[in-house]
Amino acid sequence: MLSKDDVGFISICLSSLAAIFGVVACRRSTKVASSIGRTIDELSRKDIEIDISKEFIEKAAKKHVERKIDLMMPSVKNDAIQAAKSAFKAVIESEINSQYADTKGEVKRALKERIGHIDISDIKREVVEDAKEEAEAKFKDQLDDVLDSFNGRLEDVGKIYSSIAKKFESK
């Protein structure tokens, strides 16, 4: 959010840009008027008598100045817009940088505080419990495999003894 100081600064920048625009427009119109004056002076030196009314000359000069101003207006307008954009960008970047530094400090402080409140013994106990459960599950799977293998071999041994017993009975 922009503070009142920032808004004031931006207003001053825009006012300065408007003043610069006025000076530039004035200079350009002065150049145009002087070039018209020079042209008229050159014509008057050639000993040509032309009867042109002052009103006509003033109208023509005024139209010429207006055309020149209309031609230059987009570039002056673009210059003013670019200057305003640059000023806004600088103010915004400055505000973001200052807010970043403030926020960074607050985040660091909050993290340190939260980390300081963590009870390591609870975490150790949870890790040990999880490790026990994992080891128990693996060991149980392996014991189940051993039990299945033992039962299979026990059946085979039972068949062998049964076969031997049948042999002895048949004799």
Tokens of 9: 């600064």
- Predicted TM-score (pTM) of the model is 0.28
Residues 36 and 107 placed together within one structural domain of the fold:
yes
Total length of the chain: 171
68 in Cβ contact with 28 (< 8 Å): yes
Residues 79 and 145 placed together within one structural domain of the fold:
no
Amino acid 50: pLDDT: 62
Domain that holds residue 166: 120-171
Residues 29 and 103 placed together within one structural domain of the fold:
yes
Tokens of 79: 């210059």
Q: Is 47 left (phi over 0), alpha (psi -120 to 50) or beta?
A: left
Confidence band, pLDDT 50/70/90 cuts, at residue 126: confident
Amino acid 153: pLDDT: 86
Residues 98 and 27 placed together within one structural domain of the fold:
yes
Distances (CA, A) of 55 to 47, 60, 61, 136: 22, 9, 10, 109
The count of domains in the chain is 2
